[in-house]
Structure 1
Amino acid sequence: MLDAGELYSVNAALDRAKTLTGLPMIAGFTGFAEAGQVVSQIRTELFDSLDHELVASFDADQLLDYRGRRPRITFKEDHLTGYRPPRLELYRLHDGLGQPFLFLTGFEPDYQWERFIRAVLLLVDELDVSFVTWTHSIPMPVPHTRPLGVTVHGNRPDLIEGASTWRPTAELAASVGHLLEVRLVEAGHDVVGYVVHVPHYLAEAEYPQAAVAALEYLGASTALMLPTDRLRESGREVERQIREQVEGSNDVMGVVTRLERHYDEHAESRVRRSLLVKDNDELADADELGAAVEAYLASTDSHERTPGAAGDSSRILGEAAPDSAPDCDLTDQVGPTPDGDES
């Protein structure tokens, strides 16, 4: 078995014994079901707004499939420059009140999950981490006009009970965050994960509202004051764009109206089954989710439909456009996103 301690290097300039021990840790990995680009937005907001110092770096060459998720480089007229290597790192940050915390972030490893997690557990033990919380996001057939939902899991009942808006029993594709949570629980550490529900037709674009929700949950669970002002401002602009598109298209308005009706019916019936769970209790994939929403919309009585919406709903349920965040085009940017890239 390979030595997990050789998978990372620590910043020797930091006095780990006096300044890094006993802190909470927040974790977020890019590349897995990152609907609304939530983790990417959180990374940017924390690094741009808060003081941060590198604590440890993981060896990307051993963890990343470069051909599957190619790093970015710039070609400038006649030469190459600005290579942006993939990074997976642990930082120390200070919140708005000066309280320190740890932030584990970067690409989700393609290889050596168990060894990577053993390395994280070494750091958790060495630094006497007091609590671990992490977040990611998934696309859901819900309207943007309703409160964002969340699914909460872990081993802290005081932070979990009554918080989830969706509590399924389902098989799903695992992420390294899921496995990390399992191993932390097995090792006796406190851990809670937050899954933010993003409207599926906004999954490909940056959706600041979802990042704000994730930061609020992370901050509340760790008693940290995390920055959200810039994201809230961006969210207001995105909300304006969405409102204009909804008001300007009967097709879009019809789809949103039907999702609102379905959301309200689901909220009224606690036992109603989610569209995301199939009959065999597996989580629906992107194509199945789109088909389920289309089938739901098609089942609506014709006299309730907005003129023109019935035959053209594929425009809002079709293929997603290339990244154009923060602009939101509801006629193009739709559907759950596959694995993303870490630039």
Structure 2
Amino acid sequence: MREPEDLYALTAAAADVPQGLPLVAGLTGFADAGGAVQQLADYFAATVDLVPVAVFDADELLDYRARRPIIAFEQDHLTSYTPSKLVLSQGRDEIGRPFLLLTGYEPDFQWERFTRAVLGLMDRFGVADVTWVHSIPMPVPHTRPIQVTVGGNRPELIEAMSVWRPSTRVPSNVLHLLEFRLAEQGRAVAEFVLLVPHYLADTELPAAAVKTLEVVSAATGLLFPTDQLKEQSRDFLARVDEQVAANDELGQLVRALEQRHDTYMEGNPLRSPLTDDEGEVPSADELAAELEKFLAIRRQSDDEA
């Protein structure tokens, strides 16, 4: 019988992983409305110094014919081959706090064995809690903030942030299985489902990336700068507004979605505890400044005691 740990290889960096870190996860595969999960992975790859801790075996888990790796051809010869990767890494947030990150392809095969492998890695590193994200298309307008459905077993997040709580049956993600197993064991897990405008689901929507980072911060306390993404989102949505304004049919659709959204939200006056009175999330610099102020007050209190 093949053991779960045979699905991955630990790197030398695994010996230096601190105990009790939060784990953030997002895997690309079945659906990724607005490119939320892919943008999350790209953001971390570009802004965080990620150190691989465990690398999973693609030959065991991936259907290459369904998701073919990319190979580059230059005039008369092949120049590079980019294999698909599924990696558990360690990174640090804006103020240096470490966390674990699971990103890459969603396994096509051996879901139960893969889940046992991840649970084993969590035991090895004493993972404190798991936060994972994905996104689905919904009949909501781009002119309103992206909302979320929250699953898992962290009621404080569900009560504060979940605006839509359906009872339904849906095709699953492998991280649904991981969440189910974690809940069976009574371990802390939070699932965030971004509700992305259906007519923008096939685009790379910067607002989805911003929201993904916001919910990760809400669940973990980790801080990540989003100012650049917010600027990209404003530019992107301005271009969408121009297209809507030039098309009466699109304009009618958006107005109908706005009316339905606003009517629904009147009965769901939820606001994330991270937002201010205008509904804006403070930047990482602002949050870091508040944290430093808090720590300074604590140090002063300790000195006076």
TM range (shorter): 0.7 to 0.9
What's the CA shift for 1:196?
A: 0.6
What's the CA shift for 1:198?
A: 0.4
The 5-angstrom pairing of residues 76-155 of structure 1 reads 76-155=74-153
The one-character-per-residue Cα deviations of 1:190-236 (angstroms, maximum 9, x if unpaired) are 10010011000000000110111111111121110023222212112
Aligned to 2:164: 166
| 8 Å contact from structure 2 (residues 73, 79) kept in 1 | yes
The 5-angstrom pairing of residues 301-316 of structure 1 reads none
- Residue correspondences, number: 268
- Give the residue type in structure 2 aligned to 1:148: I
Aligned to 2:285: none
- Provide structure 2 residue ranges, at least 5 long, that are not aligned to the other structure: 269-305
Aligned to 1:8: 8
- Give the residue type in structure 1 aligned to 2:79: T
What's the CA shift for 1:149?
A: 1.2
Aligned to 1:260: 258
CA distance in 1, matches of 2:221, 2:61: 32
Structure number with greater CO (CA < 8 Å, separation at least 6) is 1
Q: 1:175 to 1:13 in 2, by over 3 A?
A: closer
Q: TM-score, normalised by structure 1?
A: 0.76
What's the CA shift for 1:55?
A: 0.5
| 8 Å contact from structure 1 (residues 49, 227) kept in 2 | no
| 8 Å contact from structure 2 (residues 14, 54) kept in 1 | no
Q: 1:117 to 1:14 in 2, by over 3 A?
A: closer
Aligned to 2:45: 47
CA distance in 2, matches of 1:13, 1:222: 23
CA distance in 1, matches of 2:197, 2:258: 11
Q: Which runs of 4+ in 1 moved over 6 A?
A: none
CA distance in 2, matches of 1:13, 1:266: 48
SS state of the match for residue 210, structure 1?
A: helix
CA distance in 1, matches of 2:139, 2:60: 37
- Give the residue type in structure 1 aligned to 2:189: V
CA distance in 2, matches of 1:260, 1:47: 35
- Give the residue type in structure 1 aligned to 2:172: A
What's the CA shift for 1:244?
A: 1.0
More helix by share: 2
What's the CA shift for 1:81?
A: 2.1
| 8 Å contact from structure 1 (residues 45, 227) kept in 2 | no
Q: 1:266 to 1:56 in 2, by over 3 A?
A: same
What's the CA shift for 1:13?
A: 4.1
The partner residue of 1:230 within 218, 228, 231 is: 228
- Give the residue type in structure 1 aligned to 2:151: H
SS state of the match for residue 15, structure 1?
A: helix
CA distance in 1, matches of 2:90, 2:25: 12
SS state of the match for residue 34, structure 2?
A: helix
- Provide structure 1 residue ranges, at least 5 long, that are not aligned to the other structure: 271-343
Aligned to 1:208: 206
SS state of the match for residue 9, structure 1?
A: strand
CA RMSD for the aligned pairs? 1.3
- Give the residue type in structure 1 aligned to 2:12: A
What's the CA shift for 1:155?
A: 0.9
CA distance in 2, matches of 1:15, 1:162: 37
| 8 Å contact from structure 2 (residues 34, 200) kept in 1 | yes
SS state of the match for residue 78, structure 2?
A: strand
Identity within the alignment, %? 51
CA distance in 2, matches of 1:68, 1:12: 32
CA distance in 2, matches of 1:236, 1:265: 25
CA distance in 2, matches of 1:204, 1:8: 32
SS state of the match for residue 150, structure 1?
A: strand
